Amino acid sequence: LTQPPPWGINTNIRLTLPVVCFVWQIAMIILFGVFIRYDEESDTHWVETKAHENITSDIENDFYFRYPSFQDVHVMIFVGFGFLMTFLKRYSFGAVGFNFLIASFGLQWALLMQGWFHSLDPHTGKIYIGVESLINADFCVAGCLIAYGAVLGKVSPVQLLVMTLFGITLFAVEEYIILNLLHARDAGGSMVIHTFGGYYGLAITWVLYRPNLHQSKRMQGSVYHSDAFAMIGTLFLWMFWPSFNSAITDHGDGQHRAAINTYLCLASTVLTTVAISSLSQKTGKLDMVHIQNSTLAGGVALGTAAEFMISPYGALIVGFFCGIISTMGYIFISPFLEKTLKIQDTCGIHNLHAMPGVIGGIVGAITAAAASESVYGKQGLINTFDFTGDFKDRSVLTQGGYQAAGMCVSIVFGVVGGAIVGSILKLPIWGDPADENCFDDEVYWEVREPATHHLLFTIQPLGGAIVFDLVSRDELQSTFERYI
Amino acid sequence: LTQPPPWGINTNIRLTLPVVCFVWQIAMIILFGVFIRYDEESDTHWVETKAHENITSDIENDFYFRYPSFQDVHVMIFVGFGFLMTFLKRYSFGAVGFNFLIASFGLQWALLMQGWFHSLDPHTGKIYIGVESLINADFCVAGCLIAYGAVLGKVSPVQLLVMTLFGITLFAVEEYIILNLLHARDAGGSMVIHTFGGYYGLAITWVLYRPNLHQSKRMQGSVYHSDAFAMIGTLFLWMFWPSFNSAITDHGDGQHRAAINTYLCLASTVLTTVAISSLSQKTGKLDMVHIQNSTLAGGVALGTAAEFMISPYGALIVGFFCGIISTMGYIFISPFLEKTLKIQDTCGIHNLHAMPGVIGGIVGAITAAAASESVYGKQGLINTFDFTGDFKDRSVLTQGGYQAAGMCVSIVFGVVGGAIVGSILKLPIWGDPADENCFDDEVYWEVREPATHHLLFTIQPLGGAIVFDLVSRDELQSTFERYI
Amino acid sequence: LTQPPPWGINTNIRLTLPVVCFVWQIAMIILFGVFIRYDEESDTHWVETKAHENITSDIENDFYFRYPSFQDVHVMIFVGFGFLMTFLKRYSFGAVGFNFLIASFGLQWALLMQGWFHSLDPHTGKIYIGVESLINADFCVAGCLIAYGAVLGKVSPVQLLVMTLFGITLFAVEEYIILNLLHARDAGGSMVIHTFGGYYGLAITWVLYRPNLHQSKRMQGSVYHSDAFAMIGTLFLWMFWPSFNSAITDHGDGQHRAAINTYLCLASTVLTTVAISSLSQKTGKLDMVHIQNSTLAGGVALGTAAEFMISPYGALIVGFFCGIISTMGYIFISPFLEKTLKIQDTCGIHNLHAMPGVIGGIVGAITAAAASESVYGKQGLINTFDFTGDFKDRSVLTQGGYQAAGMCVSIVFGVVGGAIVGSILKLPIWGDPADENCFDDEVYWEVREPATHHLLFTIQPLGGAIVFDLVSRDELQSTFERYI
């Protein structure tokens, strides 16, 4: 009988985790008290706003335009990302639980950071929030959850919280540069969410490289039921991605078109993912890793262009290539990254987020540059690219250039930010697991049942056998000692 | 080899369960035939109503204000409550299945009971239902599902149906007293749903106390996968709680604000739950029981005040304390309740519903009493507290008092009602399981695979071993007899 | 130790599956390029449409009437149908994964087929799509997913894609005949979706009859966790069925009423399903097969009449009988179909879709024939049955006749179409599994963990025992060879 694994003081987070949670949550309360207020559509003065702005019906409240999309996005963040990461045989608690923790902190910090950069009222010094703020906060959190995928199973919850604190901060800055300064469009976040989040996570895991990770090889990979759980995550992400890409686009045709484009693009991705996955095996068998992940690449890649007039067949084409490229990423690029570049990417976020995000940025730049009044209509073009105010004379070609510039910004923020944050996370104070204990929930969770079952037999002189029920490790130990 | 457990005639529900289902369902059909009709927004005469009331668009139909929230609430009732209770290692069928059964009956009975008390037309003698009625019926059912949590695994489905019949009845009465007579506000039901449901369940399980419940200790607690299933329930409750608390609040800012407040409050709860859970273990490990349950306490506690101008930081503060108190409840209070007060509370509803519900009532009373025209605006104050008709001169202080009175009513109805219903359920006619068979699906469900796997070896003279696949109990028995 | 199963060249789909996926997806892109465009509500010209049609608010865009329902339907298609079929002990990947694949292809083909038949603009030769088109495409896919239920575990993914290609094609034709030529009403698709899909699948599985299917008996049936997974599917179907039946009904009261009727009908079905299930066992135990499936029959049966003034108690009555009939179908009719008619129906779609679909068609015909101006109002009657244009003089009695005719059309299309498609699928080129390998994910999926666990003991001379962890089949083999 093997001894229980010798993890000890180093993964003890009994001091750090509660302190971080308490202090940061109290800081949130204070900062919210100073800065955050209801906006005019969620304040009881809405009745006066309505009268003042000649709004005839409560249904004009932005709540009714965006709340269904918000709830879909919310499900993607907590169930989608959470369960997608449960594929490991013994890391479901960490996948769902830590995802839950960092998203809950992150959305609060995001409301502040995004508020300061995007909607701080210069007169009152307050940030006014409504349903669109909640969606943006969830979006912001998505960037950090993507990064979590790269380090899944190899870090402590305290490290994850630190990673989230800096991740949200960097996100708000790059988002401000891309959307406000460069005036690039990125409603579904191919650049600001996926490209940034992907490279942020990859840079962190590169800094945190573990040469002896093979010592926990027994815990890597999936078991049958964990793959089924992961499909819950995959499907809720896949189904609700049209809501994700349309959640903050323009009222009316903007939301409508973004949903249609994403729906079509994702359908196309599924077919090419299946094709490549089947091609990759001698007998054409499918691999759940590909089905769970690459089927989603189309949604990532349409994040920028979903609201554009990319046209239905254009959406299908994007999905077509994303399914191929992402699946090939899992087959060829991930092993290369691990062996050659020393990037250990647990969930393959390079193939699901970083690379499709870059594709999305390029698609967005090209389709923006190719936009024309004949397709969009005069007012449609203005509305779609928000060619108003300082930007009313911008040409579509210039817009295409700024879209491409935006993509570079998101990559730079991801790589540089991730490298710096990775160095901070390398300090030996965060309680991360030893190489041989990675990917194991027993490090940070009370697991009532051991990872493997044991069965004890005592052999009777006459060749009979006594059968015991499957027992836990502790019960086994004591029975063992009693009988043998 | 142990004998199959000796449950017998006493858990046979082949007569009672079908009879109750048939008779009650037929009664529902008759009562619906006599009383229930479509309201003017779901009737084909809507086209005339529109013309008559100068409604310009179909989008003004209440359906479009409330249906998305309704569907979220519906998911909470059936998937949320159902899967939350699947944490036990061998009671998933009972958790999800009986939840399904009693909710399906309960919502019909609730439509009638709530209709009689709240919306019976005095001229026609009919109850007119629309989407808001469906939401209220689901809310009413929630009270009984909370109570189910206390007795999970220890009662028969017939007992659950009886508990639901009386629970819905009591609910409708206390709701009428609190909302109509006392004119208290309680949109998300801290008092009418959670406090009532919590104490109702606790009183029932107190009456049904089983001194020898330790005999089924082997079936208590979770296994790894059952905890993962329970997180599905937790997350769908957590994500959709903003819809729950905003589902029947005022159109426009009311729904908008309630959703924002609940969203923030729940995020805050997660951090303090994690902090206390980690503090409670020697090495700071987290406990899934806390993560599954206490993270939801903030939603319960904001049920009353969600539509008030509690302000974003106020919502965070409520969540902050609820996470602490609820988690401490699981650590300290539940063992005390069980040992000292003889209250066996399977799911810990005291910590998730009863106690946070009371907190919610208090928060509601205080925030109501502290409301002011300067914060709410004149019309906003009237709208929020519905200071119209008989109540147009009520002051906010008086309102605070009536809120507190409402909370007392819900406690009294829960405790007294639960004690009486518990006594009825104690009659030896309901087919409840023996102490040693509690928490086991095999009592009421055809389980094709036994709870534990067995493996048979026959020992060859030369020391070899023959390996069999894992087999069911029956197969094992016969193989055993053949070989040994 | 048994040898690994001898499947070989015949289930190799490494050529056929990728070829079909690539070629069909490219065909979709070309056809979309030629035919599919955004409709006026999802096009950037919406701003001009609004001005032109005096639409005052973006909220009048059909997106806001139908998108929440669309997302619910989308969840039913991918999570509902997918997880409902995970009940088999070792076919979760195939259930969820192939469901994912064929739905993703099917919805693209459905947009084209339905577009050509229903919305091809004669002047431009284009099909204009919006959110209602997406819902209809999902509906169309549902018919094929129903058929998948009959052949679950017995066909290859290539066969499924072929089945879907023809299924969608047949669907679009029968739908055109029923809805346009006969002008029958069928908003929730009792006839066009469920009856057609049910008989289509039954006819296919009848042609593909496997006399030696008992050779894979060990893989049939469920295990405990697979039943819990299946309940995820059941509940998401059950909860969102009100959205399914109301998704494309008239704005306003039409959607409102359809949702209420379906909600009530399904609640009633649960009680009678439980009653009959309990009656069917000696000790009144419940059977998960019934709870997972028959509880949904009410939604199927109200597909046609959901938008009619069937009245709340009428909906309860339909649900009452559907629960009884469907559960009895599982108990009595399925064994009869298999033994006598040689129809092997893995999921029992006869009891969940075909039979309740026919009931739904009959209920629709009767309630249509019984409609009256006194109940509906003059304009309400016209709106509900769309008595406009060529059909403005049709009487309700005539309408009832055409409804009945529609049902016959759907049966004929299902049976004849299924028989023909079944014959095509019988060709020995599709890589379907051998009789002994049915219902096993290892045929088409890389399964990292074997289906059964093994435990190896070596017996020490002195009667001691060495305990190994549970190991995979391969590890076992090598250990076995080493020790014994």
Distance in Å, alpha carbon of A393 to nearest chain C alpha carbon: 19
∠ Cα B230 C104 C44 (to 5°): 105
Report CA-CA distances (Å) from C72 to A75, B259, C76. Answer: 13, 20, 6
Q: What would the mean pLDDT of C175-198 be, rounded to a whole number? A: 97
What pLDDT shows up at residue A336?
A: 97
pLDDT in tens, C344-393: 999 999 999 999 999 999 999 999 999 999 999 999 999 999 999 999 99
Query: Cβ–Cβ of B61/C377 closer than 8 Å?
Result: no
pLDDT in tens, A473-483: 444 444 444 44
C-alpha–C-alpha distance, residues C350 and C423, integer Å: 20
**Which residue, among B256, B320, B330, B373, would best test binding to A if mutated, counting the most A CBs under 10 Å from its CB?**
B256
Would you call C206 an interface residue with chain A, using a CB distance cutoff of 8 Å?
A: no
Comparing CA positions, the residue from C419, C432, C368 lying closest to residue C202 is C419
Cβ atoms A91, A439 nearer than 8 A: yes
Which H helix or E strand runs over C36? strand C36-38
User: Which among A260, A272, A381 is the nearest to C134, CB-wise?
Assistant: A260
More confident residue, A54 or B464: A54
Would you call A176 an interface residue with chain C, using a CB distance cutoff of 8 Å?
A: no
Count residue pairs from A and B with Cβ separation < 8 A: 250
Q: Concatenated DSSP letters for C413-429?
A: HHHHHHHHHHHHHTSTT
Distance in Å, alpha carbon of B468 to nearest chain C alpha carbon: 7
Distance in Å, alpha carbon of A378 to nearest chain C alpha carbon: 9
SS3 B84: helix
Cβ atoms C289, C297 nearer than 8 A: no
Report the interhelical angle of C253-279 vs C378-385 (nearest 10°).
70
Distance in Å, alpha carbon of B454 to nearest chain A alpha carbon: 6
User: Which among C37, C449, C457 is the nearest to A457, CB-wise?
Assistant: C457
Fold (CATH) for C16-426: Ammonium transporter fold (1.10.3430)
User: Which among A256, A274, A316 is the nearest to C32, CB-wise?
Assistant: A316
Subunit partners of chain B (3 or more CB pairs within 8 A): A, C
Of the candidate ranges B103-107, B298-302, B449-453, C171-175, the one whose mean pLDDT is the lowest: B449-453
Query: Cβ–Cβ of A21/B271 closer than 8 Å?
Result: yes
Give the CA radius of gyration of chain B. 25
Residue percentage of chain B with pLDDT more than 70: 91
What pLDDT shows up at residue A11?
A: 84
Contacts of C484 in chain B (CB under 8 A): 463-465
User: Which among A43, A104, A459 is the nearest to B270, CB-wise?
Assistant: A104
pLDDT in tens, C421-449: 999 999 989 999 999 999 999 999 999 76
Residue percentage of chain C with pLDDT more than 90: 87
What pLDDT shows up at residue A448?
A: 79
| Chain A (98-117) residues lying within 8 Å, Cβ to Cβ, of chain B | 100-101, 104-105, 107-108
**Residues 6 or more apart in contact with residue B438 via CB below 8 angstroms:** B153, B154, B210, B213, B216, B219
Query: Cβ–Cβ of A309/C44 closer than 8 Å?
Result: yes
Which residue do the tokens 């959406």 mark? Answer: A315
Would you call B337 an interface residue with chain C, using a CB distance cutoff of 8 Å?
A: no
Contacts of B448 in chain C (CB under 8 A): 221-223
Contacts of C238 in chain B (CB under 8 A): 78, 100
Query: Cβ–Cβ of C284/B45 closer than 8 Å?
Result: no
C306 pLDDT more than 80: yes
Report CA-CA distances (Å) from C140 to C105, C131, C191, C334, C365. Answer: 11, 14, 12, 26, 22
More confident residue, C467 or B65: B65
Would you call A45 an interface residue with chain C, using a CB distance cutoff of 8 Å?
A: no
Report the chain B residue with the minimal C-alpha distance to residue C238.
Answer: B78
Q: What would the mean pLDDT of C235-252 be, rounded to a whole number? A: 97
Contacts of B444 in chain C (CB under 8 A): 284-286
Report the interhelical angle of B62-75 vs C62-75 (nearest 10°).
20
User: Which among C41, C71, C75 is the nearest to A256, CB-wise?
Assistant: C41
Q: What would the mean pLDDT of A94-107 be, rounded to a whole number? A: 98
More confident residue, C460 or B114: B114
- The gap from C-alpha A71 to its chain's centroid, in whole angstroms, comes to 16
Bridge partner list, B128: B37
pLDDT in tens, B356-406: 999 999 999 999 999 999 999 999 999 999 999 999 999 999 999 999 999
Contacts of C378 in chain B (CB under 8 A): none
Which residue do the tokens 């509660």 mark? Answer: A18
Query: Cβ–Cβ of C446/A238 closer than 8 Å?
Result: no
User: Which among A243, A288, A309 is the nearest to C445, CB-wise?
Assistant: A288
Count residue pairs from B and C with Cβ separation < 8 A: 250
Comparing CA positions, the residue from B238, B245, B239 lying closest to residue B259 is B245
pLDDT in tens, B5-30: 444 447 889 999 999 999 999 999 99
Contacts of A268 in chain C (CB under 8 A): 25, 28-29, 104, 108
C103 pLDDT more than 70: yes
Helices (H), C431-472: none
Cβ atoms A144, A161 nearer than 8 A: no
Which H helix or E strand runs over A170? helix A157-175
Task: Give burial (CB, 10 Å; 0-12/13-18/19+) of C75.
Answer: buried
Q: What would the mean pLDDT of A403-423 be, rounded to a whole number? A: 98
Q: Concatenated DSSP letters for A249-296?
A: S-TTHHHHHHHHHHHHHHHHHHHHHHHHHHHTSTT--B-HHHHHHGGG
Q: What would the mean pLDDT of A115-138 be, rounded to a whole number? A: 96
Buried b (16+ CB within 10 A) or exposed e, B134-170: bbbbbbbbbbbbbbbbbbbbbbbbbbbbbbbbbbbbb
Q: What would the mean pLDDT of B258-282 be, rounded to a whole number? A: 97
Query: Cβ–Cβ of A59/C58 closer than 8 Å?
Result: no
Subunit partners of chain C (3 or more CB pairs within 8 A): A, B
Residue A468: pLDDT band (50, 70, 90) is: very low
C-alpha–C-alpha distance, residues A73 and A139, integer Å: 8
Type of residue found at A467: V
Neighbour count for residue C127 (Cβ, 10 Å): 25
Mean pLDDT, chain B, integer: 91
| Chain C (438-477) residues lying within 8 Å, Cβ to Cβ, of chain B | 452-459, 461, 476
Would you call A118 an interface residue with chain B, using a CB distance cutoff of 8 Å?
A: no
Query: Cβ–Cβ of A108/B243 closer than 8 Å?
Result: no
Bridge partner list, C120: C127
Residue B449: pLDDT band (50, 70, 90) is: low
pTM for the full predicted model: 0.93
Cβ atoms C361, C225 nearer than 8 A: no
Query: Cβ–Cβ of B50/C252 closer than 8 Å?
Result: yes
Tokens of A144: 């950090």
**Residues 6 or more apart in contact with residue A362 via CB below 8 angstroms:** A404, A407
What pLDDT shows up at residue C2?
A: 40
Would you call C252 an interface residue with chain A, using a CB distance cutoff of 8 Å?
A: no
Query: Cβ–Cβ of A282/C50 closer than 8 Å?
Result: no
Interface predicted TM-score (ipTM): 0.92
